[in-house]
Amino acid sequence: AQKITQTQPGMFVQEKEAVTLDCTYDTSDPSYGLFWYKQPSSGEMIFLIYQGSYDQQNATEGRYSLNFQKARKSANLVISASQLGDSAMYFCAMREPSFSGGYNKLIFGAGTRLAVHP
């Protein structure tokens, strides 16, 4: 069965430094997608970045980049130049294929709470 593991319940980082949030996944399907979402204390889910299993390049979106190591089944999120507003829960998620042949469902990890210190 597909599974997402985030082994860091909490992380601390100094403002303006970079931080890496870990995510490993398990799937037997060669086609899948990996997402990172941010959930601030206000509760909404904010999409950050996406990596497809067949993408040749690591995904980047502004200060966010995804360190995708397919052989190790890891998809770590790197936040460069941390800001106080980056303090939030971060969830890694994998889209798995559905039985109907489409890609419907997201499986989420338990999340990592990031605190950015001034």
Partner 1 sequence: NAGVTQTPKFQVLKTGQSMTLQCAQDMNHNSMYWYRQDPGMGLRLIYYSASEGTTDKGEVPNGYNVSRLNKREFSLRLESAAPSQTSVYFCASSESPGSPQPQHFGDGTRLSIL
**Contact residues for partner 1 (CB under 8 A)?**
4, 33, 35, 37, 43-45, 47, 50, 52, 91, 93, 98, 100-111
Sign of CA dihedral 6, 8, 12, 13: negative
Length reported for the chain: 118
Q: How far is 114 from 12, CA to CA, in rounded Å?
A: 6
Q: Backbone phi, then psi, for 86, in 5-degree steps?
A: -80, -10
Assigned token pair, 27? 């799937």
Which C-beta is closer to partner 1: that of 16 or that of 105?
105
Query: What's the closest the beta carbon of residue 32 comes to partner 1, in angstroms?
Result: 11
Q: How far is the CB of 105 from partner 1 (least distance, A)?
A: 5
Of 41 and 118, CB closest to partner 1: 41
> Which residue's CB is nearer to partner 1, number 4 or number 66?
4
Q: Measured from the CB of residue 104, what is the shortest distance to partner 1 in angstroms?
A: 5
Closer to partner 1 at the Cβ: 74 or 103?
Answer: 103
What is the rounded distance in angstroms from the CA atom of residue 16 to the CA atom of residue 19?
Answer: 10
Token pair recorded at residue 45: 């889910």
